[in-house]
Amino acid sequence: MKPTRVSRKRDDQMTDADRLRWAVYWLLLAICLGGAIGRIYAVTANHNRHPFLSANDRSRWATVRSLVDHQTFAIDEVIQDRYWDSIDKVYHLGPDGRYHYYSSKPPLMACVLAGEYWLIKNTVGIEISEHPYYVGRIILIVTNGLLLLGLLWPTILIVERYARSDFARIGIVATVAFGTFLTTYAVTINNHLVAATSVAIALYCGLRVWCDGRSEARYLLGAGFFAASAAVNDLPAFSFLAFLGLAMLIRRPIPTLLCGLPAAVIVLVLSVGSNYIAHQSWRPPYAHRADGPVLGAVEEKMHGAFDKNEVPAEVNDILAEHDVQLSDQAEVITRETGSRWVLLDRGIDRRYALQRTEDAIELRDWDNWYDYDTSYWKPGVKQGVDKGEASIPLYAFHVLIGHHGVLSLTPVWLLSILGLGMWLGDKGAFRQVAIFIVLLTAVCLLFYIFRPLKDRNYGGMTSGFRWAFWLIPMWLTAMIPVLDRWKNFVWGQRIFALLLLLSAASASYSALNPWVHPWIYNYFAYLGWLE
């Protein structure tokens, strides 16, 4: 397949068919954006206190409010209101030497949203704590409205350039407007819509370079900047950044080094820098799930004293070697009897881990940010899907065609698989594009399928397998050869319409709150097939 080599025509060059097609595009854009705005206005949390729908987005909103109202990334003051609290938080030492709660989400997005809130607060004069619906909905409409536009527009540009039939062009734009979970997530602040929009823009820029041989700076800048933006918002999308960067280097090495690489570095520096400012660590919060360095060890027989909540002198001696003097408020808290304890000193606001090994009990620095008294993420506390699926084959089944299935919930992606097969059997640039998409899809799905038990949870309480949403712009592109082939076949058009209808039904099932289980999961639960 070769690109059509035709960009959008000037109005005086457009045929009646072109004008009609673009009228349909504008209509689809209007319906998609209008529907999203309407649902944002309709959304309310169950407790009717604010339009924030889950622990996931409340975690980000708490940081936004804290940054503007309290000038800190710590969210202690904000979450005193239980309606603002979230399980998606960590607990660690702050720059003042005291322990504080922080959002576990990467802080870069919160910084951008805080800029919007700061502008609203300092121009209109309303605060999010007093008027969460006004402020929250304004930010949601502006942010997610722009993201949806940024998702649909490059999709239109891709199909206008590389699809050869109006059926394929309009069909794919209709799919992104109604048949995916990206529009479902437009009613909440989330990283998935940001990542997918970034992939769509970077993909268009990358196709112009790889398939058309273009070398203008705008395409390299766009590919680098938005591929990096996708990566910092969805971890597996680092594979997209790496593969796209390699492709750009192969096709246009000098422009990539001069334009694409610096653009990507800007985003990466902003992400890492904001994380360090927020947490005083180069590693993101989810990388702090284990104990820190070993400070020393005591004899195994000390476990009896620890079970009695006593602090032996030997522990004081070890900490004294590290210039730490415990106060009289120091105590030992049992985490696992005879195996693990926490040494907590509220007087100096310090904590250490005591972990039993084969022949000793190690005293370790504290680095498990998810281990605090009220943490949902401690062993034995998590519930439902958050416990993790013990069977990897069963998990893979549900990820692909089961209750959270990519194909069972959005069967329109069956056409993407067929399209990739057609491109792989072709020659030229689009065969390489197909290999690119197949590799990235495999990397993402395998990465999550083979995660440890605690992470095999389908993304938690979510209406779809959200960790794969960033791949959607590529799956849309892969539909091009199928719909081009079916343009003159009534049976093909009917199959596409049916698959799109089923996909749109899944997406609309949770249109007012994407942080719920999919309809298939709920149906399985109704039948008693789930524990």
At 51 the pLDDT is: 85
Length of the chain: 531
Model pLDDT for residues 453-490, shown as the tens digit of each residue: 989 999 999 999 999 999 999 999 999 999 999 999 99
406 token code pair: 């990519």
> Can you give the pLDDT at residue 433?
97
Which residues share a beta bridge with 342? 333, 353
- State the pLDDT at residue 11: 59
Nearest to 310 by CA among 92, 292, 301: 301
CA dist 497 and 477 (Å) reads 17
pLDDT given at position 222: 97
- Please give the Cα distance from 337 to 440 (Å, whole number): 45
Q: 3-class SS at 360? A: strand
The mean pLDDT values, 10 residues at a time, for the chain of 531 residues are 50 83 96 95 79 92 97 96 93 93 97 97 94 94 97 98 97 97 96 98 97 95 98 96 97 96 98 97 94 92 88 92 92 87 92 92 94 87 90 97 97 98 92 97 96 92 96 98 96 97 96 94 93 71
Rounded to 5 degrees, what are φ and ψ at 363?
-100, 120
Cα–Cα distances in angstroms (integers) from residue 316 to residues 320, 363, 486, in the given order: 6, 11, 76
Cα gap 461→516, rounded to integer Å = 5
Burial of residue 119 (CB within 10 Å: 0-12, 13-18, 19+) is middle
Q: Is 261 left (phi over 0), alpha (psi -120 to 50) or beta?
A: alpha
**55: number of Cβ within 10 Å:** 17
Rounded to whole angstroms, what are the CA distances from 292 to 269, 341, 368, 474? 26, 14, 8, 40
